[in-house]
Amino acid sequence: MSTYKQIYGYTIKSVASDPTFDEGQVWYNNATYAIKLAAATTAGAWASGGNLNTARYAIGGTGTQTAALAFAGEGTPQINTNATESYNGTSWTTLPATMNNTRSGTGSTGIQTAALAFGGETPGGRSSSSESWNGSSWTATPSLNTARNVTGGIGTQTAALAATGTTATRVATVESWNGSTWTAGTNVNTARSGIAASGIQTAGLIFGGQLVPNAMSGETESWNGSAWTTLNSLNTSRSSLAGDGTQTLALAFGGYTGTANSGATETWNGTSWTSSPASMSTARYLLGGAGTQTAGLGFGGYTTAATAATEEFTGPGSPVTQTITTS
């Protein structure tokens, strides 16, 4: 009988704890006396994370699954907040620095240490204000040209798009940010609000939303830096959903279908959406999102009230550790 070394040219590595290996690699855990395999999941899965300190919906969010930022939002009863929280992959920490403008429904882009917030709803009405975050404090930046809320954000702190939203009605308006000013961009094909978005300023994706007057949309549009193209729609039409990832590898989750809260999860491969068998444990809308298609994060949102629940998405196709047995 051939040995593992004869077949592959090397022996199985012996380790005291399970490391992070590429898919298909095998090792021996000498602490548990088990042979392990890095196998790929066939479907994604949601798991509970640490709760936000401030339950809220219409929340801004950005970053990764293990380094996320949550800010602004609305609590129960209907009170806006300017609180900022950071996530380390396990728990949320309330930061001493609050936003300059208390609001909900803000657009957001960036990473945990370099974020951008724009637009939203304040006690005085819809806002055009914009703020940047440097990891320790918020600084007011030049305002949007069009005041609006529930707008989608694409890109980074210094190269962003603010797409769609609600003024007196739902709009197709897009503005581009270069790090110092907002300028009018090319409108999307379908006016709506409550979209989710992913990607960068020159390669973005928007999906879902609420149409004029009130129908829910599954429409997907792709941006190549000069034009918006309508692509295949989500399988579940909804608004106020969350999303993350890139233009060609995106994740959509949560939202409101028009009749019920949704926990539906879908993955985008650059051409079409695939419904995941894994739904969020807490169906909700107006939630925050961060991360990538294979390592997503959903937090806050509205169920029958503001929630602090956080969930982490793994997969599809992400490596998981399995024990090799003889059965």
Higher pLDDT, 318 or 228: 228
The mean pLDDT value for 262-280 works out to: 96
Taking CA 243 as the corner, what is the angle to CA 239 and CA 247, rounded to the nearest 5 degrees?
A: 115
Q: What's the pLDDT score for residue 172?
A: 98
Nearest to 119 by CA among 10, 32, 195, 53: 195
pLDDT of 303 strictly over 70? yes
Q: What's the pLDDT score for residue 16?
A: 87
Which tokens hold the place of 131?
A: 């703020």
CA distances from residue 14 to 2, 28, 121 in whole angstroms, order as listed: 20, 5, 56
What whole-number distance in Å separates Cα of residue 313 and Cα of residue 85? Answer: 20
pLDDT of 251 strictly over 80? yes
pLDDT of 8 strictly over 60? no
pLDDT tens digits, one per residue of 101-142: 999 999 999 999 999 999 999 989 999 999 999 999 999 999
Q: Are 81 and 74 in contact (CB under 8 A)?
A: yes
CA 78, distance to chain mean position in Å, is 24
For 167-174, the CB contacts below 8 A with 24+ separation are 167/126, 169/212, 170/209, 170/210, 170/211, 170/212, 171/146, 173/146, 173/148
Higher pLDDT, 324 or 144: 144
pLDDT tens digits, one per residue of 163-212: 999 999 999 999 999 999 999 999 999 999 999 999 999 999 999 999 98
Average pLDDT over all residues of the chain: 92
% of the chain beyond a pLDDT of 90: 80
Q: What's the pLDDT score for residue 13?
A: 83
pLDDT tens digits, one per residue of 24-35: 678 788 888 877
pLDDT of 11 strictly over 80? no
Q: Are 287 and 57 in contact (CB under 8 A)?
A: yes
Q: What's the pLDDT score for residue 6?
A: 55
pLDDT of 37 strictly over 90? no
pLDDT classification of 19: cutoffs 50, 70, 90 = confident
pLDDT classification of 90: cutoffs 50, 70, 90 = very high
% of the chain beyond a pLDDT of 70: 91
Q: What's the pLDDT score for residue 213?
A: 85
Residues 6+ apart with CB under 8 A from 165: 107, 119, 146, 148, 149, 150, 151, 152, 171, 173, 193
Q: Say yes or no: domain 45-314 is CATH 3.90.1150.10.
A: no
Which tokens hold the place of 122?
A: 């304040």
pLDDT of 226 strictly over 90? yes
Q: What is the pTM of this model?
A: 0.86
Question: Residue 310 is which amino acid?
Answer: T
Q: What's the pLDDT score for residue 147?
A: 98
Domain locations in the chain as residue ranges: 4-40, 45-314
